[in-house]
C-alpha cells in the first residue's frame, strides 16, 4: 500500500464548531489548577500460552489462501491466547457462549490480578494503599463487575471507591484514565488504579469466514494497569519519574458508528466482533482533527510532542495514523512492537506501549507525550501528558 493511499486531507478549520473557536479565544493556555494527576506506576500481564500466526493457521486447519494472507501479513509475530480444548478428532472443540463467558471471567480476574500487582510493585505500594479501582473490559459481561471480584480476590479494602467501564472497546483505557485523573485531582495523595483486562480469546467466533478471520488474526489476551496520584501541581512540574496528565480530547465519528462493533450474532448464537475494512482510513482521516483539538489552547504544536503512544489497532490503522499525523517509524516503535509481540490487546494496548517507553528511560523532565486510542463508535480518544 502506498502512503498516499492512507493520506486523507481534512479541512480542520471547518471541523471545529464556533464553540471550539470561542474556547480557543478565551483560554489561550491551560488554566492553572491546585492539583495535577500524575502517572506513578505501570504493570502488565498476559494469559499463559502464546502462538505464532502459523501455529493458529495449523491449529484451525485454515487453508483458504485469502484468510491465510490476512493472518500472515498482520505484522504480528506472536499473541497470547487460550484456545479451546481439542475435540476427539483433534480439531478445536466448539464452545457455547456460556463457555466463553466463563473463560472471560477466569482470565480477566487472573490477568487483572497479576497486572495490578505488577503495577503496585512498580510504585512500591501495597493492596492496602488502593483507594480507587477503575476496571475496564469489553470482551465479556460481568455482574457484579470486575472491580468487585478483584476486591474480594485480593482482599482490597471493602470501602475502596470503584468504577467499572464495560463495552467501550479498545479506546476504553483512556476513557478510564479520564475518570481516574479527575478522581485523583479531587482526592490528592490517594492511590488510584486504571486496570484494563481483556480476554480476547473469549470473544472469538470460528466459522472460516473473512469477517471473523479479520478479527481472529488480530486480537490477543492481555491486562495492563496504571497507577495515578493527585499531587500539588507545582510539585509535579518537571519532576523525575511519571508524567502529569494535562488534558483529554475525544472525537466520535457518527457516520461510522457501526463500523466497529461487538454485538449478538443470531446465526452464530453468540456475540461476534465486526471490523469494517474501511476502519483504517476512517481513523486516519480523523486523527488530525482530534490531535489538533487536544493541542488547541496549549501553545503546543505536533512537532513539540516527543513521545507518541498510539493504540496497536492493527498494521493498517497504525500506518494510517502515522501518515496523517506525520509520524515516523521511530515515533510509533512501541505501538508496532506491542502489535508484533502481543497483537491487539484492546483497551490496555496503549499501557503496554507506555510501559516500554518507561523501560527505555529516554524521557526527560519537560517532555510532552500524546496517548491515542481508537475504538467502536467509531471514536478516537487522546490525552496530553508531560514528564
Given the residues 135, 170, 200, 251, select the one marked as catalytic. 170
Distance from first CA to last CA of the chain, Å, rounded? 36
Note if 170 is an active site residue: yes
Q: Which of 293, 304, 329, 237 is nearest to 3 (CA)?
A: 329
DSSP category for residue 229? E
Please answer whether residues 174 and 385 qualify as being in contact, where contact means their C-beta atoms are separated by less than 8 angstroms. Answer: no
C-alpha 119/C-alpha 188 separation (Å) is: 19
Sign of CA dihedral 115, 121, 123, 126: positive
Q: Which of 193, 180, 230 is nearest to 113 (CA)?
A: 193
* Locus of grid cell 487483572: 112
Is residue 44 classed as helix, strand or coil in its secondary structure?
Answer: strand
Q: Which of 76, 175, 108 is nearest to 374 (CA)?
A: 175
DSSP 240-260: SSSPEEEEEEEEE-GGGTTSE
Strands (E), the chain: 35-45, 50-52, 78-80, 130-137, 161-166, 191-198, 222-232, 244-252, 260-265, 270-275, 305-310, 368-375, 379-386
Q: Is 206 exposed, middle or buried (0-12, 13-18, 19+ CB in 10 A)?
A: middle
Q: Which of 363, 380, 339 is nearest to 73 (CA)?
A: 339
Which residues carry out catalysis?
170
Amino acid at each position: 500500500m502506498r502512503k498516499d493511499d492512507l493520506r486523507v486531507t481534512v479541512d480542520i478549520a471547518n471541523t471545529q464548531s464556533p464553540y471550539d473557536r470561542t474556547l480557543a479565544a478565551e483560554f489561550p493556555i491551560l488554566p492553572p489548577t491546585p492539583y495535577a494527576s500524575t502517572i506513578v506506576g505501570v504493570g502488565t500481564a498476559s494469559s499463559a500460552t502464546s502462538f505464532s500466526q502459523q501455529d493458529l493457521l495449523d491449529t484451525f486447519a485454515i487453508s483458504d489462501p485469502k484468510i491465510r494472507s490476512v493472518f500472515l501479513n498482520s505484522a504480528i509475530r506472536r499473541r497470547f491466547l487460550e484456545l479451546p480444548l481439542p475435540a476427539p478428532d483433534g480439531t478445536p472443540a466448539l464452545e457455547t457462549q456460556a463457555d466463553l463467558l466463563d473463560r472471560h471471567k477466569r482470565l480477566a480476574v487472573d490477568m487483572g490480578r497479576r497486572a495490578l500487582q505488577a503495577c503496585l510493585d512498580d510504585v512500591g505500594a501495597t493492596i492496602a494503599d488502593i483507594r480507587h479501582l477503575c476496571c475496564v473490559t469489553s470482551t465479556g459481561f460481568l455482574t457484579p463487575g470486575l472491580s468487585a471480584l478483584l476486591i474480594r480476590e485480593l482482599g482490597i479494602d471493602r470501602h475502596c471507591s470503584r468504577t467499572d467501564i464495560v463495552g467501550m472497546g479498545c479506546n476504553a483505557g483512556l476513557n478510564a484514565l479520564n475518570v481516574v485523573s479527575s478522581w485523583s485531582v479531587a482526592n490528592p495523595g490517594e492511590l488510584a488504579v486504571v486496570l484494563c483486562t481483556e480476554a480476547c480469546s473469549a470473544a472469538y467466533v470460528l466459522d472460516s469466514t473473512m469477517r471473523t478471520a479479520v478479527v481472529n488474526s488480530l486480537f490477543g489476551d492481555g491486562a495492563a494497569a496504571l497507577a495515578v496520584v493527585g499531587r500539588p501541581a507545582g510539585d509535579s512540574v518537571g519532576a523525575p519519574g511519571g508524567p502529569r496528565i494535562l488534558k483529554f480530547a475525544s472525537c466520535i465519528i457518527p457516520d461510522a458508528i457501526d463500523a466497529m462493533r461487538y454485538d449478538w450474532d443470531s446465526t452464530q448464537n453468540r456475540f461476534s466482533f465486526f471490523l469494517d475494512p474501511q476502519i483504517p482510513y476512517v481513523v486516519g482521516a480523523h486523527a488530525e482533527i482530534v490531535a489538533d483539538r487536544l493541542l488547541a489552547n496549549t501553545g503546543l504544536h505536533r512537532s513539540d510532542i516527543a513521545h507518541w503512544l498510539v493504540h496497536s489497532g492493527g498494521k493498517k490503522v497504525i500506518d494510517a495514523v502515522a501518515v496523517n499525523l506525520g509520524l515516523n517509524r521511530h515515533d510509533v516503535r512501541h505501538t508496532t512492537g506491542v502489535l508484533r509481540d502481543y497483537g491487539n490487546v484492546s483497551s490496555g494496548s496503549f499501557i503496554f506501549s507506555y510501559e516500554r517507553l518507561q523501560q527505555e528511560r529516554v524521557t526527560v523532565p519537560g517532555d510532552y507525550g500524546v496517548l491515542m486510542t481508537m475504538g467502536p463508535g467509531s471514536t478516537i480518544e487522546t490525552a496530553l501528558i508531560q514528564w
